[in-house]
Structure 1
Amino acid sequence: MPGGRGTKVRLWRWRSSPLRRRDDKLEAWIVLVMWAVIAVGGTIAGLVTALSAHEALAQQRSERHAVRAVVLTDVPRSPSSREGGTYRTLAKVRWTTPDGVTRTGRTLVDDTGLRRGSTITVWQDTHGALTPEPADPAEAAAEAVFFGVAAALALSGLALGAGALARWRLDQRRLDQWSREWDLIGPQWSQKTG
């Protein structure tokens, strides 16, 4: 070959050739299906997951409500929060549920040295139980995108892994066939002459 460069034949597994084996055709189908699953399945999995996460986070925002609560114990400021860090600590609080019942419980509050009797904002669900603050719309959109991308990548990784495993098995089968054929042909080549 002039220049030492070979030509790469694209889609060779799909072309008719007397040298093409049944395993080559099977491998071509495996690769095609694997990429179709990655392209179509990954897109669908990502979109469905992102939409589901977005709806779940929107439902959380609609079900959770901010209420005022009274801190029942002093919350001492920790030495680490004085250094500029923002930390949260558990504090006992009292709040009123939507049906007018007064409840007490523990929730995370900013570690800012709150005194007993201070008022803070806590979040409750429709039953009046304390819950974490729901994600705002921008955070919810970012989380939905993250979950969608993660689902698409997970499905793509599974498809690539399954395709690689199937191709590895085909390679093992071809090596076994070549080994059996060599066992038949090899002794004829190793005969000594004269």
Structure 2
Amino acid sequence: MPHAKYAKNRLWRWRSNPLRRRDDIVEAWIVLAAWTVFAVGGSVAGLVTAHAADEAFAAQRTERQRVRAMLLTDVPRAPALGGTSGRRTTTVRWTSSDGSTRTGRTQVDTGLKAGSRVTVWQDGHGRLTAAPLSSTEAAIESGFLGVVAAAGLAGLVFGAVAVVRWQLDRRRVDEWGREWDRVGPRWGHKTS
């Protein structure tokens, strides 16, 4: 029966009690509203964010296209200082979808010679860009963004509740002080 005692203690604000103050009832309703907003609002915020991110990643996969490019400079084998990646930024030349020849800088594998052919990605305007996320990577990223959105809403909701509860506690302490000022002198004798 320890669970029943715990539930009884957790719901004390809802019971009829001569020591219960109006602020206790207000606090109970605020906490209930906060959990409701968190449960419903967090779910909605997470799902909407994940869906929007998934659509954005799908649009990137549709818009971006891979093209063959030629390296204009050698890419030394040694990794960049402090870098752990086997890729370096270099200049490449490619033909965009409108037929114009373009040059730009992008990341390529190390150890390639000038004139080598590499695959790069361009956006709908013919500018170099990063490769789009795969469907699996996009699903993971969308899920992560949804969780972050729900956590952000939770932080806002519970932060606001903490401020309100702090103000209620201050009001209760002030009320206790006023009551003690009224009742305290009747309880004891003053010594000189």
TM-score by length of 2: 0.90
Residue identity in the other structure for 1:145: G
Equivalent pairs counted in the alignment come to: 186
Tell me if the contact between 2:74 and 2:113 (Cα under 8 Å) persists in the aligned partners.
yes
**1:13 CA displacement:** 1.7
CA deviation vs aligned residue, 1:14-62 (integer Å, no higher than 9, x gap): 2233332111110011001100011000000000000000000000000
Q: Find out whether 1:141 has 2:139 as its counterpart.
A: yes
The residue identity in structure 2 corresponding to 1:121 is: T
Number of the residue aligned with 1:92: 91
Partner of 2:100: 101
> How far off is 1:8 after superposition?
4.0
Consecutive unaligned residues in structure 1, runs of 5 or more? none
Q: How does 1:16-35 map to 2 (within 5 A)?
A: 16-35=16-35
4+ long deviations beyond 6 Å? none
Shift of 1:10: 4.3
CA spacing shift, 1:6–1:77, aligned 2, 3 Å: closer
Q: Deviations over 1:66-113 (max 9, x none)?
A: 0000000011111579xxx53321111000110100001111112x21
Instruction: Name the aligned partner's letter for residue 40 of structure 1.
Output: V
Q: Quick one: distance in 2 between partners of 1:79 and 1:107?
A: 15
State whether structure 2 residue 120 is matched by structure 1 residue 122.
Answer: yes
Offset from partner CA, 1:129-183 (integer Å, 9 cap, x none) = 1111110111000000000011011111211111111111101100010011112
Alpha-carbon RMSD across the aligned residues, in angstroms, is 2.2
Aligned to 1:13: 13
Percent identity between the two aligned chains: 61
Matches within 5 A, 1:41-120: 41-78=41-78, 85-110=84-109, 112-120=110-118
Partner of 1:132: 130
> Structure 2 counterpart of 1:39, which letter?
A
Q: Secondary structure at the residue paired with 1:66?
A: strand
